[in-house]
C-alpha cells in the first residue's frame, strides 16, 4: 500500500456512511486524497464510486461522517456556502453535458458569465486560452452536433478548467471514446494536472489508462476501500477482490450471479 501520511491531504472522507433507502452504499468509509495528485477511484458497478464524487461536490450529504475538502467541511455547508465552494471545482461528466444550442466558445464561456463579472475581453482571453490548451481553439464556432466524442470531451475539459479550479473531478472520462480519443484525453488530464498544479479525481473502469495516468488508485468493494496504492502496487496485489477487478475476472468476491434462491426451486415453482 502507498503511504500518504507525509503528503498533504486535499480531500478527506472520514467514517462516512451513506444510504439510499434501505441500501447502504458507503459503510464507515474513509479515504484521504493527497494534494496535487491524479487519483483514480475504481471498482465494480454500483459500489459507490459516483457517490464519492457527489459527496465531494456536496450534491449528497452523508448520514454520518465528515467530508473535508481543502480544510472545509462540505457536509455541513449551507446552500449559499455550497454555491461559493463549487466555484472552486471543475467537473467533467462522462457524457460531456455540452449545451447543444451553444457554440464551443459559448459552452466554455458559460461558467465565467454565470459566476463572475468579468468583461467580454477578459472572458474571450480565458476561453481561447483554455481551448488552445485542449487543442480546439480552431473549433470555437462549431456546435456540439459537429464534434466527435473525443472533441466533445476535450471541450468539456476546457469548460471544467476555465475558472482555474483547484480540484477537478472526472466521471468516467474515457467511456465511449475510440482508442485515439482515449489516449488524447488521458494525456490532457495528466498534462493539465501537472501544468496547473491541480488535484484530480477520476471515477473510471479503465485499468489500462489508469496504469499510465494515476499517481494513486483506490478500489472500492462493498462500500469500503478494498485497496489503495500506485497502479503498479495494485497490479501486484494478490487479494481476491483486487485481482478480480484488475484482471477483469467475471466471478470472484463480486459474484457473477445476483443473489437468488436455488434454481431448482424456481423451476419447480
pLDDT of residue 3: 44
Q: Which of 201, 116, 107, 88 is nearest to 154 (CA)?
A: 107
pLDDT of residue 45: 77
pLDDT of residue 243: 77
pTM of the predicted protein model: 0.84
Q: Which CATH superfamily, name and number, covers 9-88+165-256?
A: P-loop containing nucleotide triphosphate hydrolases (3.40.50.300)
Q: Which residues make Cβ contacts (< 8 Å) with residue 157, sequence separation at least 6?
A: 92, 134, 185, 188, 189, 192
C-alpha cell at 16: 462516512
pLDDT of residue 223: 81
pLDDT of residue 253: 64
pLDDT of residue 2: 43
Q: Which residues make Cβ contacts (< 8 Å) with residue 266, sequence separation at least 6?
A: 260
Beta strands in the chain (DSSP E): 9-20, 23-34, 38-42, 64-69, 72-73, 89-92, 167-171, 199-203, 216-221, 224-229
Q: How far is 150 from 94, CA to CA, in rounded Å?
A: 11
Residue by residue, pLDDT tens for the chain (269 residues) are: 444 444 678 999 999 999 988 889 999 999 999 999 999 998 877 788 899 999 999 999 999 999 999 999 999 999 999 999 998 899 998 788 899 999 999 999 999 998 889 999 999 999 999 999 999 999 999 999 999 999 999 999 999 999 999 999 999 888 888 888 889 999 999 999 998 899 999 998 878 888 889 999 998 888 888 888 888 888 787 777 777 777 766 766 666 566 777 877 777 76
Q: How far is 218 from 227, CA to CA, in rounded Å?
A: 6
Q: Which of 99, 162, 100 is nearest to 131 (CA)?
A: 162
DSSP designation for 138: G
Q: How far is 186 from 180, CA to CA, in rounded Å?
A: 10
**β-strands 23-34, 224-229 pairing:** unpaired
Q: Which of 45, 10, 36, 72 is nearest to 258 (CA)?
A: 45
Beta strands in 204-251 (DSSP E): 216-221, 224-229
3-state secondary structure of 14: strand
pLDDT of residue 5: 42
Q: Which residues of 183-212 are buried (b: 16+ CB within 10 A; e: fewer)?
A: ebbbebbbebbeeeebbbbbbbbbbebbbe
Amino acid at each position: 500500500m502507498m503511504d500518504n501520511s507525509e503528503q498533504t491531504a486535499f480531500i478527506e472522507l472520514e467514517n462516512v456512511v451513506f444510504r439510499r433507502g434501505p441500501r447502504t452504499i458507503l459503510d464507515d468509509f474513509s479515504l484521504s486524497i493527497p494534494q496535487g495528485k491524479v487519483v483514480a477511484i475504481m471498482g465494480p458497478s454500483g459500489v459507490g464510486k459516483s457517490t464519492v464524487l457527489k459527496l465531494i461536490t456536496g450534491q449528497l450529504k452523508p448520514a454520518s461522517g465528515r467530508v473535508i475538502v481543502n480544510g472545509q467541511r462540505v457536509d455541513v455547508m449551507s446552500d449559499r456556502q455550497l454555491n461559493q465552494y463549487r466555484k472552486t471545482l471543475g467537473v467533467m461528466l462522462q457524457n460531456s453535458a455540452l449545451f447543444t444550442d451553444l457554440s464551443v466558445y459559448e459552452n466554455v464561456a458559460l461558467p465565467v458569465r454565470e459566476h463572475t463579472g468579468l468583461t467580454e475581453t477578459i472572458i474571450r482571453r480565458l476561453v481561447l486560452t483554455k481551448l488552445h490548451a485542449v487543442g480546439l481553439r480552431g473549433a470555437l464556432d462549431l456546435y456540439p452536433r459537429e464534434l466527435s466524442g473525443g472533441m466533445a470531451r476535450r471541450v468539456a475539459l476546457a469548460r471544467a478548467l476555465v475558472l482555474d479550479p483547484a480540484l477537478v473531478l472526472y466521471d468516467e472520462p474515457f467511456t465511449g471514446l475510440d482508442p485515439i480519443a482515449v489516449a488524447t484525453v488521458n494525456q490532457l488530464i495528466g498534462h493539465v494536472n501537472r501544468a496547473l498544479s491541480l488535484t484530480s479525481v477520476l471515477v473510471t473502469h479503465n485499468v489500462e489508462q489508469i496504469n499510465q495516468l494515476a499517481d494513486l488508485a483506490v478500489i472500492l468493494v462493498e462500500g469500503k476501500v478494498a485497496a489503495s496504492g500506485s497502479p503498479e502496487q495494485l497490479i501486484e496485489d494478490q487479494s481476491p477482490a483486487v485481482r478480480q477487478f484488475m484482471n477483469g475476472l467475471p466471478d470472484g468476491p463480486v459474484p457473477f450471479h445476483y443473489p437468488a434462491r436455488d434454481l431448482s426451486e424456481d423451476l419447480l415453482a
